[in-house]
A and B are shown apart, each in its own frame.
Chain A
Amino acid sequence: DTAVSQTPKYLVTQMGNDKSIKCEQNLGHDTMYWYKQDSKKFLKIMFSYNNKELIINETVPNRFSPKSPDKAHLNLHINSLELGDSAVYFCASSQDGSSNQPQHFGDGTRLSIL
């Protein structure tokens, strides 16, 4: 029974396109996150939402827009995709976003820009 699930698992698309990645968690958590793992395997936070409210936006380009329709979902929409957007994107969730709680991750979405 998957706790944090992301779709799609793989996404291959052309530069300039717009794409979305969906994330859902069934853990009853209040806080959700998006992380990006680049080619150097460095995992870095992009956004966090607490109960549908944006908490963290880590200097991510405006082309990236997270949307949280409810606290169990946090989707990531990317406009005008660029080559540098190629990465693995991970969704995560935690109980209430307190700094002393573990975050639980999905299996990632590998985005490849041609």
Chain B
Amino acid sequence: DQQVKQNSPSLSVQEGRISILNCDYTNSMFDYFLWYKKYPAEGPTFLISISSIKDKNEDGRFTVFLNKSAKHLSLHIVPSQPGDSAVYFCAASALGFQKLVFGTGTRLLVSP
């Protein structure tokens, strides 16, 4: 039973455009959501997070949006750069539980 889902395995975007990566979750106990970026042969790198008390969090070119009623979050990257090409994982955790539950990732390719 996959509680965090990333239904798009891949996404291709041109440099300078917006990249939108989506994530859906089923567990209403989740209250903290994170995005990680992963390059080949490296570990996931923390990118940005959002608490369930907010609906938006912004950090430079990266913005995460949370829609609790739809159990949906998205990561916007504007403008996209070739160096953003990587696999992006959505993850979630519930209050009182230490573990992160990950989605299966979306491979983003930003072409020049």
Number of interface residues of A (CB under 8 A): 28
Report the separation of the CA atoms of residues A90 and B87 in the bound assembly, to the nearest whole angstrom: 16
Across the interface, do B44 and A99 meet the contact criterion of CB distance under 8 Å?
no
Chain B, interface size: which category? Answer: 20 to 34
With contact pairs A99-B32, A102-B49, A108-B43 given, residues A40 and B104 touching in the complex (Cβ less than 8 Å): yes
| Most B-side CB within 10 Å, residue of A56, A98, A100, A102 | A102
| CB-contacts of B81-112 with A (<8 A) | 87, 89, 93-102, 104-105
B23-55 interface mask toward A, CB cutoff 8 Å, 1 = contact, 0 = none? 000000001101010000111111001010000
Chain B residues in the interface with A (C-beta under 8 A): 31-32, 34, 36, 41-46, 49, 51, 87, 89, 93-102, 104-105
A94 to B41, CA, bound (A): 21
Q: How far is the CB of B34 from chain A (nearest CB, A)?
A: 6
* Extra inter-chain contacts (10) besides given A42-B102, A45-B101, A90-B44, CB under 8 Å: A33-B99, A43-B102, A44-B102, A45-B100, A56-B98, A58-B99, A99-B98, A100-B31, A104-B46, A105-B43
The answer on a CB contact under 8 Å between A99 and B49 is no
Q: Which of B46, B51, B104 lies in contact with A100, CB distance below 8 A?
A: B51
B51 contacts across to A, CB distance below 8 A: 100
Whole-angstrom distance between the alpha carbons of A91 and B27 in the complex? Answer: 25
Given contacts A102-B46, A105-B45, contact A41 B98 (CB under 8 A): no
By beta carbon, the residue of chain B nearest A104 is B46
The complex places the Cα of A113 from the Cα of B66 at a distance, in Å, of 41
The proximity string for A residues 71-92 relative to B, scoring 1 for CB distances below 8 Å and 0 otherwise, is 0000000000000000000101
B46 near A103 (CB under 8 angstroms)?
A: yes
In the assembled complex, how far is the CB of residue A101 from the closest CB belonging to chain B, in whole angstroms? 8
Inter-chain CA distance A108–B40, complex, in Å, is: 10
Of residues 40 to 72 in A, which have CB atoms within 8 Å of B's CB atoms? 40-45, 48, 50, 55-56, 58
Instruction: Report Cα–Cα, A90/B46, bound state, in Å.
Output: 14
Asked whether, in the complex, the Cβ of A103 is within 8 Å of the Cβ of B100, the reply is yes
